[in-house]
Amino acid sequence: EDQVTQSPEALRLQEGESSSLNCSYTVSGLRGLFWYRQDPGKGPEFLFTLYSAGEEKEKERLKATLTKKESFLHITAPKPEDSATYLCAVQAPRGSEKLVFGKGTKLTVNP
């Protein structure tokens, strides 16, 4: 069964303190790995798609990387506005429209 495990469940940082969130996955024939940001009371907002091991994507203070078994979301010098829950999802093999989501990492950045 396809699985996505995110760690840690919660992370508290001081403003400017860089760190990384982890997403490990088990899926045969990965078609894509996706990162979303979700603010309280809102729907998830798309951040990145990664398709193959070694690929990296960046957006402002965020950088996503992908290996054959896991992905990292690196947060450099975070600000309080980066506080949110970050969701990781993988796309099941061709023929399926399903995304398998992890439970998320709740990030809190204190000023």
Partner 1 sequence: NAGVTQTPKFRILKIGQSMTLQCAQDMNHNYMYWYRQDPGMGLKLIYYSVGAGITDKGEVPNGYNVSRSTTEDFPLRLELAAPSQTSVYFCASSYKTGYTGELFFGEGSRLTVL
**Positions in the binding site for partner 1 (CB under 8 A):** 4, 31-32, 34, 41-46, 49, 87, 89, 91, 97-104
59 or 79: CB nearest partner 1? 59
79 or 103: CB nearest partner 1? 103
CB of 31 to partner 1, least distance (A): 8
CB of 86 to partner 1, least distance (A): 12
Q: Look at the alpha carbons of 37, 102, 56, 94 in this order and tell me if their dihedral is positive or negative.
A: negative
65 or 91: CB nearest partner 1? 91
DSSP string for residues in 19-66 = EEEEEEEE-SS---EEEEEE-TTS--EEEEEE-STT-EEEETTEEEEE
CB of 77 to partner 1, least distance (A): 27
Distance (Å, whole) CA 98 – CA 104: 17
